[in-house]
A = this chain, B = another copy of it.
Amino acid sequence: MKSDELFALLRRRGVLWPSAEIYGGAQGLYDYGPLGTALKRRIEDTWSAWFLGLSEDYHLIEPAEILPEAVVRASGHLENFTDPEVSCDSCHAVFRADTLLETVRPEGVDGLSAARIGTILAESSISCPSCGKRSLSVPRPFNMMFGLDFGVTGDERVYLQPETAQGSYLAFARMWDVGRHALPLGIAVIGRAYRNEIAPRQVLFRMRAFTQAELQIFFDPAAFPVPFDSVRQEELPVLRVPARERGQESPERVSAEKLVESGLPEFYVYHMVQSYRFYRDVLKYPADAIRLFEKSDAERAFYNRIQFDVEVHLESLGGYKELGAVHYRGDYDLTRHGQGSTKDLSVTAKDGHRVLPHVLELTFGVDRNLWALADTHLVRDGDRSVWKLPPYLAPVALGVFPLLRKEHTAYARALTAELARDGISVEFDDAGTIGKRYARMDEAGTPYCVTVDGGTVASEGAERGTVTVRLRDTKAQERVARNDLASRIRSSLQPPRPSG
């Protein structure tokens, strides 16, 4: 489906819609409806189960989402978290310089300075997209953070966090104190980040408020032991910088072992594999739609020593889109916050030496993945749509239908309440034909539907106390004892964890 068509479907089903819709919307902000809220929560829980499952020493925390100015000064965001903007001297419209240039420079502008972008803009013959005149200004840096004044006197400047990672760095010293005093120590945050995007676009891909899930792993650069043998043979779909420079778009399959031989550290490749498995085996994106896209020196932030983005090809947006990344950030973050706070953030490793931990950062865009799960898993089946979400991601796990409203409603409602008390996400539906109810549940991603009929409520007979279970993906139907229902489906509703 095209982006517009997919968005219309998601809006109609109450998955999401533009925020403050009755006021004409707010640019770059979206509201999640009941299905979207449940799906988003399950994506977060599924991410947590996988990435916190990598080690007992990885923990989820929830820091405040507002940062004092000293924090963003130390992190570099105050100075550097900018996009180049240009304005039209004639009509005063404002644009992102890099976005304007993409039309004449398909290779992109990542890594170019504002000055270089300005030169290219001047040399190109780009006119103002709004009024058509050739009156664009030179590019200026525009800081994308939202600042606020704290307190009554307004002399305390704070910022909405532009990324969730800062909360982990600020918490590191405290987490070290309350934990086992061992590296690696992982600190995960699922929270909102805020960016004053010059041009919000592509629905959930360029928002002004969005949810990130990030795991920051603090480790001793002298020793980050990983069970590499468990991933050695895994083939990863990588697109390395040299291949990209030859114009290649498709990834090549390279084993983890070969990637290490090419110079990447074992701990880094191990986490590439675990990330790749999450996108392929847990979120179940089609394996041939995923690529691990290496960023070049010019494209990476200067403190990132190695960076591969996890990209998935999305029909709705017409290409590969970044859904997450693996960043090796070195000791940049703790060095900067050690200086900024004048606290010593180094710790004593097991062998007694002091070490300033390095950081491996696994990032994940919750909203982007929600959209991608709609793009890739919501399929047409004739004139109907079926959202083939894995059961542990489905907003509603089970639909319960009375076949006849008069005879079977009481039983079906009691069953619904019982399953809800058992912790299963369940929805009662008695509107329209059974076929229509299946169709509604299919579109909402519900993997199981249960129908209560005459056999169920009969006072005797082989079908007494049994219900018809219908599976979304195969449409297969089976008679199951009511008392076996929960235990039959429960394990499929648990998000997978990494093995070993």
Q: What is the interface of chain A, defined by CB distance below 8 A to chain B?
A: 12-14, 17, 19-23, 26-27, 29-34, 36-38, 40, 53, 56, 59-68, 70-71, 85, 87, 92, 94, 142, 146-153, 156, 158, 160, 167, 170-171, 173-175, 178-180, 192, 196, 198, 208-209, 337, 340-341, 343, 345, 417, 420-423, 427-428, 431, 490-491, 493-494, 497
User: Which residue of chain B has its CB nearest to the CB of A21?
Assistant: B174
Known pairs A174-B17, A178-B13; A209 contacts B65 (CB<8 A): yes
Residues of B within 8 A of A493 (CB): 423
Contact B38 A174, beta carbon cutoff 8 Å: no
Residues of B within 8 A of A152 (CB): 85, 87, 94, 142, 196, 198
Q: A458 to chain B: closest CB distance in Å?
A: 26
Contact B153 A94, beta carbon cutoff 8 Å: yes
User: Which residue of chain B has its CB nearest to the CB of A74?
Assistant: B23
Q: A186 to chain B: closest CB distance in Å?
A: 11
- Cα distance A171–B92 when bound, in Å? 34
Contact of A341 among B22, B27, B37, B67 (CB under 8 A): B22
Residues of B within 8 A of A148 (CB): 146-148, 160
User: Which residue of chain B has its CB nearest to the CB of A192?
Assistant: B65
Contact of A27 among B151, B153, B175, B196 (CB under 8 A): B151
The CB with the most chain B CB atoms within 10 A, among A26, A208, A420, is that of A26
Contact A59 B34, beta carbon cutoff 8 Å: yes
Residues of B within 8 A of A87 (CB): 152
User: Which residue of chain B has its CB nearest to the CB of A500?
Assistant: B417
Q: A203 to chain B: closest CB distance in Å?
A: 13
- Cα distance A417–B56 when bound, in Å? 10
- Cα distance A29–B428 when bound, in Å? 41
- Can you spell out 22 A-B residue pairs with CB atoms less than 8 angstroms apart? A14-B179, A19-B170, A22-B170, A22-B341, A23-B340, A23-B341, A31-B63, A33-B175, A34-B60, A34-B61, A36-B62, A92-B153, A148-B160, A150-B196, A150-B208, A151-B196, A151-B198, A180-B431, A420-B497, A421-B497, A422-B494, A423-B490
In the complex, the 3 A-B pairs of residues with the closest C-beta atoms, listed nearest first: A14-B178, A29-B64, A19-B64
Q: A30-B64, A33-B174 are in contact. List 17 more A-B contacts (CB 8 A).
A: A14-B175, A20-B67, A23-B68, A23-B340, A26-B64, A26-B68, A27-B151, A32-B61, A33-B178, A37-B60, A64-B209, A148-B148, A151-B198, A152-B198, A420-B497, A421-B494, A423-B494
Q: A320 to chain B: closest CB distance in Å?
A: 27
Q: A205 to chain B: closest CB distance in Å?
A: 16
Contact B417 A497, beta carbon cutoff 8 Å: yes
